Amino acid sequence: MNKKWQICQIDNEKVEKIVEKYGINKLLATILVNRDIVEENQIKKFLKPKRDDFYNPYEMPDMQIAVKRIITAIENKEKIIIYGDYDVDGITSVTVLKSFLEERGMKIAEYIPNRLKEGYGLNKEAVKEIANQDYTLMITVDCGISALEEIEYANQLGIETIITDHHEPGAELPKALAVVDAKRKDNTYPFRNLAGVGVVFKLIQALSIELKLEQKEYLKYLDIVCVGTISDIVPLVDENRVIVKLGLKLVEQTKNLGLKSILEASGYNKIDSNTISFGVAPRINACGRMGHQEEALKLFLSKDIKEVKTLTDKLNEYNKLRQDTEKNIYADAITQIEKNNLNERNTIVLMGKNWHHGVIGIVSSKITELYFKPSILLCEEDDFGKGSGRSIPGFDLYEALTECSDTIDKFGGHSMAVGINVKKEKFEEFKEKLEQIAKQKHIEEIVPILKIDAQANLEEIDKDMVESLSELEPYGEENKMPLFAIRNLKIDSIRALSEGKHLKLTLKDERNMINAIGFNLGYLSNEYKIGDKIDVVGNLEINTFNGVDNIQINLKDLMKSI
């Protein structure tokens, strides 16, 4: 697949000023300038965020109303229930709010819908059950912004609701007592991209201010808030970066028995954003995906080490089952695509029998990554197709679904990821309408862009330089690992690894040599040969093998030198 190399133009004057003022190396300064982090407060907040860098929570919409109502509930010992979501963001949101309120002397119940039976968000049956148990206040976390009918139903049943969410609202807001969401059109909060658990963190921060508690009473939950934030793949910039940078320090010494146990089970030695993304998040998400969401919550809330061990073992089993199920659906989806030449279309929309509703979002992500096209995968369940979709940068999938909403029963999400239900009788109509919308938006003109931070040469690449890049961690959305272009390297050796899946190279210039690894680029081993001159783009990293450190390029693309 052709990729566009977009190399940042370096503003040397700004770079030199930052080098001189902050005593960092030129490479780090260059990357900060490239990412438009140039003001003093931005640089300090990015490199060394502090607990005072959090914004005033009362700038969020309806925060004052929410805090006042919750304090009244605390004073009157009301029955409160938290309504959450079954993914990591939802589970951590419930954990944080429930723990904080119970420390204030409340007994808090929670309701997390079963993904397989109820789907995402509020539903009327759940609301009815909550009303029957005489709860007077319901607080939603990581959901609720699109639940117009369900909130109206709750009002009719005498339940007051506070919504805390981070998803895009529709044209109308639910008629809840308070709707705390920085994506509201009337929002004035300085940062609108918090995860659901980030919004909950702002709520407990606001409650702590109102109750005149010490900062530690809400800051101590940053380990759990950090896990939810990283796992929800929100942009790791601004306040999210403060949450994650400070939170990872707490994760390293976490007092939460469940988090500590699952970190040990993941097998990672270093605690960073990758550990959370690939070690912790899949295990927590596997519970919700396989219909056992309550066990993930129990893990985070448990104070019993034996129970924690049992739950961790279960999470590992669910994750293994999830992986096996995912592989089977992926193979089935690829077969459908190849058989029907769906890769030649602008969008890929599939429906399958016996597909597991809980894992098709992951498969959709892989299909989109493989073909660089928006994809929607639906499980055939009775009269409906229920599933998930993923998009590519430059194509707003949520907006596209809004334009063909007359063919959809229900959907929600944001520009890059959606959940969707379609009646089977409308499936073909929906598929064709989405295809036409993508065509009208000239989606075929969108190509993957590699945003390259700087050109480098082997002469200037050393261990100190590569290690200095750790100042940019944690990496994530909108703060990717820096990419470097290195030109006119001669191939000294080349081979495919793992049955042709990956590519292994040694590259050299006139005086220096470096190793390179290209994951999922094994097919290129037949297109290049020893002696070819190539330009490469990749991340610089230190590979440790048998106790020896070597610098290597993690390749993202390569082409023959001109």
Predicted confidence (pLDDT) per residue in 261-272, tens digit: 999 999 888 899
Give me the DSSP letters along 219-268: HTTHHHHHHHHHHTT-B-SHHHHHHHHHHHHHHHT---HHHHHHHHHHT-
Integer angstrom CA distances of residue 108 from 73, 112, 342: 11, 13, 49
Distance CA 131, CA 264 (A): 40
Does this model's pTM top 0.85? Answer: yes
Highest mean pLDDT among 84-88, 245-249, 473-477: 245-249
Q: Give me the CATH code for the 4-8+450-560 domain, please.
A: 2.40.50.460
Highest mean pLDDT among 162-171, 193-202, 356-365: 193-202
Per-residue pLDDT at 5: 94
One of 3.40.50.620, 3.30.1490.100, 3.10.310.30, 3.30.1330.200 is the CATH number of 340-445, namely 3.10.310.30
Question: 439 and 419 in contact (C-beta within 8 Å)?
Answer: no
Q: What is the mean pLDDT of residues 205-216?
A: 97
**Mean of pLDDT over the chain:** 94
Domain boundaries along the sequence of the chain = 4-8+450-560, 53-218, 340-445
Per-residue model confidence as pLDDT tens digits over 106-136:
999 999 998 778 877 899 999 999 999 999 9
Per-residue model confidence as pLDDT tens digits over 177-190:
999 999 999 999 99
* Structure-token pair, residue 265: 């089970």
pLDDT at 1 over 80: no
Task: Report the run of H or E that residue 541 belongs to, with start and end.
Answer: strand 533-545
Per-residue pLDDT at 547: 82
Q: What is the mean pLDDT of residues 77-96?
A: 95
pLDDT at 2 over 80: no
pLDDT at 533 over 80: yes
**Percentage of the chain surpassing pLDDT 70?**
100
Per-residue model confidence as pLDDT tens digits over 21-53:
988 888 899 999 999 999 998 999 999 999 999
Q: What is the mean pLDDT of residues 272-300?
A: 91
Q: Give me the CATH code for the 53-218 domain, please.
A: 3.90.1640.30
Task: Report the run of H or E that residue 302 belongs to, with start and end.
Answer: none
Per-residue pLDDT at 197: 98
